[in-house]
Structure 1
Amino acid sequence: MTDQKPAASGTVLSCMPVAVMAVVAAVDVVAGPGVGLLPLVSLGPAFSGLVGGWRRTAVIGVVALILCVGLGVYDGLFEERRGFVAIGSVAGVTGAGVAAAVMRGRREAELASVRSIAEVAQRVLLRPVPLTAGPLQAAVSYTSAVAEARIGGDLYEVVASPHGIRVIVGDVQGKGLAAVETAAVVLGAFREAAHDEPDLAGLGERLERSVSRELEGEKFVTAILAEIGTDHDAVFLNYGHPAPMLIRVGGSADFPQPPSYALPLGLGAHGGGDPKPYRVGFAPGEQLLLYTDGVTEARDHSGRFYPLAERAHLLKDGDAHLALEALREDVVQHAAGPLHDDAAMLLLRYHGHGEGKSAPTG
């Protein structure tokens, strides 16, 4: 339905110039020259300049001029000044419409170029996660709160390191280009440290130092780090981020909480202690969903938050990507409109394949 509405609106706007000129001509013929509607023929090229290209606007303008001359002769207006004034009005509006269409075309070309650059930035910043990593199958979903935007302040990454499969999902405070820049810093530091640091605590310390160097004032990044090996468990490190959702084989959903929440990344200088890693069982057949608060804080018309725990059954599809897409669509439907915050979700399924094999390092 959302695709049909813009298409119908575009058709109406496209037909409006011709329709307006037809109505003006009909009223002028019926009512006679005394009404003085002839200059309104210029509405045709005026509307065309707003929605059409410059060539179409010029054609509509020529048609409007021909129509204006015809009606002027029919009404006998060229015996006085009114007929020439109407022609001048149509010609002037046509010229302005053509100029507006040319300027709009240039802006649209510039916007298309900017969007293509944004798409390249997206591929560099938020690279597609691997379909499989060791014993895991992965799928990701990202919904930006900014219209037409493809990236924002949420971040995610999956790295197959010599120390296990390491994952991050985070949420940068704020929006816009500043948030994207901070997300790039966090992801760059994570991708490097994930291969180098032998334990998750050391990885977290590296991230804290990198973020603290870049951020100013009270800005911060909430994040959760996870490490999945071959011991049928997952180790988490939580920096003020929503707890992950672990879906057991029977379909029940748990939200493993850390022994204590640490301050978000970038606020380590304010004290609060180092985060403590905690271990949770994660066996074949189970699913792990890491997400940002744009998911759980999506509100419906009554102000009710999205009930993620009640929607765990939406992830039962055999295809991880289809399952995650079903959950994303349910979040958007719950919000009944654009989300007020970026929403990222990373789904990991423990399928058991690849156990006992060395993890790839690429």
Structure 2
Amino acid sequence: MAVVATVDVAAGPGVGLLPMVSLGPAFAGLIGGWRRTACVGVFAFFLCLALGFYDGVFAERRGYAAVAAVAGVTAAGVAGAVMRQRREAAFASMCSIAEVAQRVLLRPVPRAAGHLRVAVSYASAVAEARIGGDLYEVVAAPAGVRVIVGDVQGKGLEAVETAAAILGAVREAAHEEADLEGVGARLRRAADRALRGEKFVTAIIAEVSPERGAVFLNHGHPPPLLVRADGSAHFPEPTRYALPLGLGLHQAAGPEPYQVDFGPGDQLLLYTDGVTEARDAHGTFYPLAERTGHLSDPDPQAALEALRADLAQHTAGPPHDDAAMLLLRHRT
């Protein structure tokens, strides 16, 4: 409005810039509240009157048209600001409810569980969402620390609903079943009830104890990354992969448990394919095994955040798929 007033005074009434004073309340309605928009509109109205008398344009219809334009844009800006503020309030209320639901579904994992230190990182591919189709859980059971990391086919609310059903079954079975095979059987039955059609969930279930090390059940999920105390890393794989959850067809056998040693100083990273399938601008997959140096920080959460930052730098942008990482570190 200051620019319009300056140019109008300098150029004279022949330029016809007076209606452009209405740009003030127009932009105010886009970025401010209705009170600020109204104040800007009142100021624009009197500025338009002052410029109109200075230019002597009220002897013609265009002077009154300019004042009417300012008044009309101000009214529209106030109405738009009121509607926008109502939508923002409703959106904020929905976000707060969704945040509570998200915390119930993917609740914070314990920083310490038994003989393990735990850290977790999750990045959703859906904008403005903290959860998606990936899932994780850590349960300290009498037989050992039982964990799961899974990936639900698809995205959106349907994937979140499936993840909730799987996590509910895991949390119940982890405390009640005496061995990991029993947890896996309960999980397969829950997935058969929850999943319909060709929907499925890849998952890896682990039981970590000081006596047996780490025991895994792999349902078509990427193998874990085991980082030894000396810095060497490899991916322990089962002798035979089982079908993902939901595709058991009621006749297929479950996965065979397999065991690896897990001692002081060792680290175990469970993740979803959103990590290993992340690509850079040239289409190169993220080399997870080559980036284990980021896990050297004494704080497990800081180490995992460093790895996540490196993953974000590799993709140079937002993730195209949900990416969950769960780090287990043997406490010495």
Q: Given the two structures, how large is their TM-score scaled by the length of structure 2?
A: 0.98
Offset of residue 276 of structure 1: 0.6
1:272 shift after superposition: 4.8
1:107 to 87, 106, 111: 87
CA contact (8 A) 1:232 1:283 kept: no
Maintained 8 Å contact 1:142/1:342: yes
Residue 7 of structure 1 corresponds to none
Q: Point out 4+ residue stretches in structure 1 off by more than 6 angstroms.
A: none
Moved more, 68-77 or 31-40: 31-40
Give, in angstroms, the shift of residue 201 of structure 1. Answer: 1.6
Equivalences for 1:76-225 in 2 at 5 Å?
A: 76-225=56-205
Q: Which amino acid aligns with 2:265?
A: G
State the Cα deviation string for residues 60-111 of structure 1 (Å, max 9, x = none). 1111111111111111011111111000000000000011111111111111
TM-score norm. by structure 1 comes to 0.90
Distance 2:5 2:280 in 1: 49
Q: Distance in 2 between matches of 1:35 and 1:273?
A: 84
1:262 aligns with 2:242: yes
SS of the residue corresponding to residue 27 of structure 1 reads: helix
Matched, 1:294 2:274: yes
1: distance between equivalents of 2:318 and 2:193? 34
Structure 2 residue matching 1:268: 3-state secondary structure: coil
1:270, CA displacement in angstroms?
A: 7.2
Answer whether contact 1:118 1:150 (CA < 8 A) is retained: no
Q: What is the deviation of 1:118?
A: 1.3
**How far 1:43 sits from its partner (Å)?**
1.0
SS of the residue 2:249 aligns to: helix
Contact 1:291/1:345 (CA < 8 Å) preserved in 2? yes
Separation in 1 of the partners of 2:202 and 2:48? 65
Match of 2:293 in 1: 313
Query: What is the root-mean-square deviation of aligned Cα atoms in Å?
Result: 1.1
Give the whole-Å Cα distance in 1 for the aligned partners of 2:133 and 2:234: 26
Deviations 1:31-73 (A, max 9, x none): 2211211111111111111111111111111111111111111
Query: 1:283 and 2:263 equivalent?
Result: yes
Q: Which runs of 5+ in 2 are unaligned?
A: none
Residue in 2 that maps onto 1:239: 219
Residues 98-152 of structure 1, C-alpha deviation per residue, up to 9 Å, x if partnerless?
Answer: 1111111111111111111111112111111111111100011111111111111
SS at 1:322's partner residue? helix
Assess if the C-alpha contact under 8 Å between 1:220 and 1:265 holds in 2. Answer: yes
User: Matched residue pairs, number?
Assistant: 332
Match of 1:262, SS state, is: coil
Q: Which amino acid aligns with 2:155?
A: K
SS at match of 1:269: coil
Q: How big is the shift at 1:30? A: 2.1
In the TM superposition, what is the alpha-carbon distance from 1:273 to its structure 2 partner? 3.1
Identity of aligned residues (%): 71
Q: Distance in 2 between matches of 1:212 and 1:348?
A: 29
Asked if 1:24 corresponds to 2:7, the answer is no
Distance across 2 between alignment mates of 1:164 and 1:35? 82
Paired residues of 1:232 and 1:284 also in contact (CA < 8 A): no
Q: Which residue of 1 aligns with 2:34?
A: 54
In 2, Cα distance between the equivalents of 1:91 and 1:260?
Answer: 75
Q: Match of 2:310, as an amino acid? A: D
